[in-house]
Structure 1
């Protein structure tokens, strides 16, 4: 009987190292699988973030897609000068007289035959000078409304400023190349293609600078 128990005890002692080794192997395998799962999930999240923005984490934040905001630096100036002079002169002289008629004394008046003479002259002189200079400086944020197949950005934005009852509007539209966007996410208005820059105001001050409708009608109808 003792021999049987001893053999069973020896068998269990010989089997225990194998069981421990199996437990350690299963533990390390589970730990390695957990690390692999965590690292893959992190790598996937970073890849998705890069895919959404389309830029590296070290790149400058520039407008590149629909819905992005871009700052426009408006710097527009226009100068127009024109000078025109016109002068016209015309002179005409007409003299006509009868020196001999069919019968002597026929058709005469106090012994003289009829005659005709005329002299005319016209002169016109006119001229005009036009000189106009305009400049506009402002900063406004616009929205990227579309991206063309070639990568150019379609922008549009409106800036409204109200002060003391006077409202000023700045309307910007056009096309922007991504290469023209500066590192601070701004672009100069002179680099905008098909640009449409509108600046106008509404209010009592603006209305006071306009002519009345009766004055406009009078200037249209007056002859001089």
Structure 2
């Protein structure tokens, strides 16, 4: 059965999903990045790893039919549908220090680091030193001289990706709050997640402020 969840602009979301579940993430209005992380339910030291994924795929750009790997080089998710075909495996989650450095802004709570941390805490996962997501709908361009450019997302209203869970997972998504960058369309809007699952899905919607009381720690590699 299909279960539908709204991820409000500037908020985080988490859910416990099961092997074989299909996750359709929809950009409701267009040009909205979704920072996506995942952890193995059986071993939360194993997590989605964009660096291992780039290494395994030998590319910085994932395509339909390819796998997203964990830090232990185990398949976690498969990209089974994609109407945009432009996402990011390079950038870390935005966080307060980034806003101070890049934009000279003091934004302590409305950022993906806080959103993801608060969302994962609902399942007992401690706040790491940093999150390294699969940045869905993010349009990062690599130039020949090695420079990086963050362009407007190519996603339009109603565009989506479908991911198949290859193991039982705790997932978290942040509707990126960054309104300073063209990379998020200079605005933050809702995302919609549809999960096709026989099981009833436990989920939470959180604000980044809920992460303020969490103690940070470094997540060990697998």
TM-score, scaled to structure 2: 0.17
- Return the index of the structure with the highest Cα Rg: 1
Return the structure number with greater relative CO, CA threshold 8 A, min gap 6: 2
Q: More helix by proportion, 1 or 2? A: 1
